[in-house]
Amino acid sequence: MNIYRGLGASDGVAIGKVLIINSAFMNYPRFQIETREEVEFEIKRVLDAKKATEDHLNQVMAQSENIIPEEIRAVFSSYKMFIGDKRFFPAIIDKIEQLKINAEWALIHVLADLDRMFEQIPDPYIRSRFDDIRQLGEKVMYNLKQKQFLDLRQLKHPVIIVCHDISPADSFHLNPKYILGIITELGGETSHSSILARAMNIPAVVGVQDISTRLLDDTQIILDGLTGEIFENPTEKIVKEKLNKQERYNLYQSELQELLDEDCELADGKRIELAANLDYMEELEVISTMKVSSLGLIRTEFLFLLDEGLPGEEEQLKVFNDIIKRSNGIPITIRTWDIGMDKGSSFFPELIDEVNPALGLRGIRICLNHQEFFRVQIRAILRASKNGKIRLMIPMVTRADEVVRTNAIIQEELESLNIPRENIEIGCMIETPGATFIVDELLDLIDFVSIGTNDLIQYSLAVDRLNEHVSNLYTPFHPAILKMLEVIITIANRRNKYVSICGELAADPIMQLFLIGVGKITFSMSPNQILRTKRFLKKVDTTLCKKVAFQFASKHSLEESRSYVEQLRKTYIENIEFFERYEMET
């Protein structure tokens, strides 16, 4: 028995036989050319492959018009847009002419150049968008080699797919009836293969290096999407354990599905507001199936291909209207551009090579410095508000005058567009210590606040959570962080203003107990955490939450706080949640 490990990208356990899908990038021809006739011949091959790729995408889009979600069709559109980008096919032709190499080799050169460019982007979501370009490149390589695409619709028996990657175009051919699981060599949590697997409820493990060359067709394997493990030719003991886990997981999922249409309530009937964050359009279909009070955080810089240029007013309006239309009438919270650090910095000369971008021109700072592009987004949001309720949220606020200036811009654009403000609320992110201690003054100017815990912890504790040397110091339950959260919630409640918390901490069960004990707050989290949160909170009551908040308030050191967190996890979480219980038993 061999065990391989990757990243568990979509929960569940799959047991079955392997079907290997080899990458078009395997064994491609590489050779030099000399004459002008040879160069022109290779260029013609590139142009023929371009046309064949476009025709294939058009065919898939036409065949799937009423089958696949609009967001997947949007990915096809981005493929077609990149086909016309000067950094792709024109660059391939340039490589052929300059390096005197064949078309396949030139394609690899261009993809390598683009890969290096995207590798410089720190943000994992934006960096992972290179996967889309590479998937498009693989389609082109298939056409250069004149190989047929494997049509997974022809499958007659259930299999576990093992491949280099799964593209959105491939997803049209995936039938969950015959696809037990997916294993890919590439991908991360935010890659399209992971998103698609979760959306289709197919167990998946991604990022397993060279797995397509390690396994053979028809090999019996077990895929564990929870742990990221793959067992080749498993022993009877492992099969028994995983079948047991599969049964438990299916039961757990059945319990979660029963909560889709239910409000989030504590055991004593107290209602808790949950909101779903939206990072990419693919999540809208999932969100629409579950009962939430709002879309709690729409990160606009993630919805557009910023490497292609800043989107215009009409493009943004179309996206915002689409979100409103598909959100079943619930309010949506749109965060204005949080550009800076790793996002969109190439458009603003002052952001290039900033010495300390985390403390530089970020969020509202860059927007107020470049009002021409900020006003474009404001107008799109205001126009969209005619179709539904929008909470407009300003990021990286540290001073009251930033809100005053933003309010003035909004008012000017409202008057210019002749749009009433009845469907617009204005708020800001509280994600720095500075904003925390002027939250009362800020609430004189705005309608709501949202606590951005990732940055608040990072700035408060002077810790870069992505720095492996200090990431252990990134501690959400530090007494200083808990006191700041209490201050923000208490003031917002006293002012009768809406307050939410977003970031990874919003889905932490222990933090939920503490915050509910402090006061009224909305938890804004990733869609895949919504049902788990409903299940956990329905088993605790208000008395427990108040007790937890009181106990945390009495902890004056980090050690005391950490000890109490561990006590709570053992007492409540491991006895309630499937994952902790299963790991404890096995």
- Taking Cα atoms as reference points, which of 544, 522, 517, 505 lies closest to residue 264? 522
Which CA distances in Å does 573 have to 118, 247, 579? 39, 21, 9
Helix 542-553, helix 558-568: angle, nearest 10? 160
The three-state DSSP-derived secondary structure of 274-336 is EEEEECCHHHHHHHCCCCCCEEEEEEHHHHCCHHHCCCCHHHHHHHHHHHHHCCCCCCEEEEC
- Taking Cα atoms as reference points, which of 341, 279, 296 lies closest to residue 120? 341
Q: Residue 359 class from Cβ within 10 Å (0-12 exposed, 13-18 middle, 19+ buried)?
A: exposed
Bridge partners of 343, per DSSP, are: 340
Task: Look at phi and psi of residue 478 and say left if phi exceeds 0, alpha if psi is from -120 to 50, else beta.
Answer: beta
Residue 304, amino acid:
F
Contacts of 136 (CB under 8 A, 6+ apart): 53, 79, 82, 83, 88, 167
Which CA distances in Å does 425 have to 438, 497, 546? 20, 11, 31
Structure tokens belonging to residue 544 = 């427990």
Q: What secondary structure letter does DSSP report for 473?
A: G
- Counting every residue written for the chain, the total comes to 586
Query: Does the annotation mark 192 as catalytic?
Result: yes
Asked if 383 and 317 count as a contact pair (C-beta separation under 8 A), the reply is yes
Q: Residue 369 class from Cβ within 10 Å (0-12 exposed, 13-18 middle, 19+ buried)?
A: exposed
* Catalytic member of 264, 367, 502, 545: 502
DSSP strand pairing (498-502 vs 522-525): parallel
Query: Does the annotation mark 502 as catalytic?
Result: yes
Burial 163-191 (b: 16+ CB within 10 A, else e): bbbbbbbbbbbbeeebbbbbbbbbbbbbb
- Taking Cα atoms as reference points, which of 519, 293, 533, 263 lies closest to residue 391? 293
Give the span between the Cα atoms of 471 and 69, in whole angstroms: 38
* Catalytic member of 192, 264, 367, 478: 192
Show which residues are catalytic: 192, 502
